[in-house]
Amino acid sequence: MKKRMGFVSVVVVLFYLSSIFAASERRVVKIDGSSTVFPITEAVAEEFQKEQKGKVQVTVGISGTGGGFKKFCRGETDIQDASRPILKSEMEICKAQGISYIELPIAYDAITIIVSHQNTWVKNITVASLKTLWEPGAQGKITQWNHVLPEWPNKPIKLFGAGSDSGTFDYFTEAVTGKSKSSRGDYTASEDDNTLVLGVSSNPQALGYIPFSYYEANKKKLKALSVGGVFPSEQTIEQGTYTPFSRPIFIYVSAEALKKQEVKSFSEFYLHNAYKLAKQVKYVPLPQKLYTLALENLKKEKRGTVFGGKAEIGLKVEELLKREIPNL
């Protein structure tokens, strides 16, 4: 009896192994890139697979915008999630490999300046004050609140911000100091925004910056500051009045991959449903009509980037979609 059981289990295992080694041809849409864009792409992928009833499979990775572009430009992925426009160096690598792409904005992301609820003295901050506070020259010098503005208290200031691998860091430094990655170094840096939430919420003297979605999920613990008089909210981000800290986030679709039916229908599905799905995952969607514009760009296969390899602070998405691709 025991022997027979052994035989049966061996047969079962062999059967399973043979089925696993017989690789089947499947239709897969491969996506990788920014963790900021991930929640929206995940939502679209989930819905798309439901609609296709398992005929097409979608995989989404989180290699970061930079890491993702490396794979994208080698032709390993079909679609790239990007929390910033493609950089000059990445454009060159893609070009060398013969990869061209269609740039599609899919939602807004905003950086929120946060303090603790116990902080009573600040409601609004200007970009100039942020520059005084965060520029590289402030290191070791601007260490108290009253160093920034004399009317603020004579208390030490504790800073929290994104780590240098993050797209949020790139954008914040660009918007505040005018130069990407130029920041003071003596602050608590973390790639994990939840760490920043925890740090700022527990310290009345703290100030930090995080993506808007993390503020939205932690409103009870945190107080957001208005920047130049404009408070970050869905309305101000969508209208583009919350400047300079609101920005579009993108997907890049490989033109070569777009020839495949599954990539084409996924990209179209993305733009058709991004408005609804971005809201569901607590992101700020673009206005409806801009998705229609983006869809036209996709159908025309408008290849290239309108940015020329540099993030532009405060660019309106509508203008971005209509702008001609500069010849490079």
Q: Which of 6, 14, 26, 121 binds other proteins (CB under 8 A)?
A: 26
Query: Is the bond preceding residue 248 a cis peptide, omega within 30 degrees?
Result: no
* Cα–Cα distance, 17 to 178 (Å, whole number): 57
Q: Which stretch binds other proteins (CB under 8 A): 130-138, 177-185, 191-199, 314-322?
A: 191-199
**Residue 219 in the binding site for other proteins (CB under 8 A):** no
Nearest approach, Cβ of residue 45 and other proteins (Å): 6
Tokens describing residue 34: 């920014």
Q: Which of 34, 80, 112, 213 binds other proteins (CB under 8 A)?
A: 213
- SS3 for 162? strand
Q: Which of 66, 93, 158, 214 binds other proteins (CB under 8 A)?
A: 214
Quote the distance between the C-alpha of residue 10 and its chain's center. Answer: 48
**Residue 49 in the binding site for other proteins (CB under 8 A):** yes
**Residue 59 in the binding site for other proteins (CB under 8 A):** yes
**DSSP state, residue 178:** S
- SS3 for 10? helix
**Residue 201 in the binding site for other proteins (CB under 8 A):** no
**Residue 18 in the binding site for other proteins (CB under 8 A):** no
Q: CB-side exposure of 99: number of CA atoms within 13 Å?
A: 24
If the CB atoms of residues 20 and 96 are measured against other proteins, the closer one turns out to be 20
**DSSP state, residue 23:** P
Instruction: List the x/- string, 254-293, binding to other proteins by CB under 8 A.
Output: -----------------------x--xxx-----------
Site for other proteins in 131-160 (CB under 8 A): none
If the CB atoms of residues 96 and 151 are measured against other proteins, the closer one turns out to be 96
If the CB atoms of residues 75 and 153 are measured against other proteins, the closer one turns out to be 75
If the CB atoms of residues 201 and 213 are measured against other proteins, the closer one turns out to be 213
Tokens describing residue 19: 């089925």
- Residue 211's H or E segment, with its range, is strand 206-211
Task: Report, in angstroms and rounded to the nearest whole number, the Rg of the chain calculated over CA atoms.
Answer: 23
Tokens describing residue 117: 């609820």
Backbone angles phi, psi at 155, to 5 degrees: -130, 150
**Residue 53 in the binding site for other proteins (CB under 8 A):** no
Question: Is-contact 283 108, C-beta < 8 A?
Answer: yes
For other proteins, the binding residues (CB under 8 A) are 19-24, 26, 28, 30, 32, 35, 38-39, 41-43, 45-46, 49, 54, 57-63, 71, 192-194, 197, 211, 213-214, 216-218, 277, 280-282
